[in-house]
Chain A
Amino acid sequence: MSRFRLAATGRPGSPRTLSVVVLAGLLSLPLVAPLAGAFTLEEFQFSDPARAEEFKRLTEELRCLVCQNESLAGSQADLAQDLREEVYRLLQSGKSRQEVIDFLVERYGDFVLYDPPLKPSTYPLWFGPLLLAGVGGLFLFLTLRNKREAREQELSAEEQQRLRALLADDSTPTKDKA
């Protein structure tokens, strides 16, 4: 079967890409070269535009398992196509967005979700940033307080002089703002 071109790796469907922004300064890779072969979602037709939109959003937020880092919407891998069809079937049969997500998570785990669900195990991920922001805020507060209380430590005249000499510069250092 020719469609399994990279069968040697045991993962059907060679990884290829379209939905991947590549900052390819760092790119290129013998085995898993991403390929920009566009394909379309034209085959998935919905009578209800809201469902069509839902389908598009869902496939963008679900990860293709066999690919390096691509969404279902973006991947040309064979398994991604299977999963797109499954998502399409589920949506067509009236399942909600959450039910589709649950269906896939039950089988493949949270790994398929680009949008990690909020639950105890993802609290560090979702609330860790608040903690970081808090630490930053505390640092800012402490620094500002210390600075107000700090003694003035302007450059001494001698230091100014030395600085100018070092920099061989005739402009006044405090004039410009940058």
Chain B
Amino acid sequence: MAIPSDFVEDTAEDGAVTLYFSGDLSIASVGDLPERLREYGSNVERLDISDTGYIDTVGAWLIHRTARDMEAEIVGANDDAERLIAAVAGADQPAEIRPQALNPVIRVVSEVGEATAIAFSTMSGLVGFFGAIIVAFFRLVRHPGQIRWNAVIQRFDVVGVRALGIVGLMSFLIGLVIAQQGAVQLRQFGAEVFTVNLVGRLTLRELGVLMTAIMVAGRSGSAFAAQIGTMKLTEEIDAMRTIGVSPIEALVLPRFIAAVFMLPLLGFYASIVAIIGGGLLSWAQLDIPPATFFSRIREVVPLTDVYVGLVKAPVFGAIIAITGCYQGMQVKGNAEDVGQRTTAAVVQAIFLVIVLDAFFAVFFTWIGWN
């Protein structure tokens, strides 16, 4: 075990104070010596380390620093100690542990400014990216032979077919909850029967597509960003460009097409499953038999509600694909960036989907589809 370091003071006849050190001078043995030496005055002439054992750079630093602060002289150093003290003395330069903290007011203002600038540049970037997709799309329309059907079909599978389970389960539960909560509230007015209207209209018009969009944003939007971001990191995308393959055509368009086509299908499917869930609950709680429930649905839900859902869905799909692929293409530098971009893709997709949903609500009411 390392021998703890210690020191004793000794005053010579002429009044000069010498500190005699003993024990090992190492990281394991210095203990509380740094504090004790700092609190010790500064009227010391000499530090005598001739009686010390093993020394490492921490011990050497302690001696060097003490000598520096007390303006004392180091005596009795053996070769090891001398070499190490010289080494740490050479490394004795003022440095900071953390970057200089800014004034809080300036920091808040600058962060708000930076966030605003980033928000605007992201918006313009998304619009520009959408433009690039449109250009690539029309190029492919003129040269249909170049469409990568394999990639498109594969994306259909990943974005659409494989989402059926989770979207179905989620929608079923949402249907159940709407019916249950609706029934409880409407019963107060003796209007339980309107639960059917609530479930049918709400899911087909709003929730089916909206919840599906949120689920797809979390499931596929994040995957788009992570996949493309990783390919960006491994320089696959640069390699593609060099070979003359457009990453927009090869990577982004298949995902865009898949999301635009799959979201209406998934959204409609989600609405139907939610209605089934609501129907089951109505049967169990309100004694409305399924046949009656579904014929009521056909009576109370106008066809325009289905159109509303189906019009919104491809737009939401496009937004999810654009934010996911755009953020993926923005990845630079390191793996950490992939994580941040993936998060950003999902957050932006969900945010934009909900904002647009609000606009759609106003718009459809305005054209009389209510």
Determine if chain A interacts with chain B. Answer: no
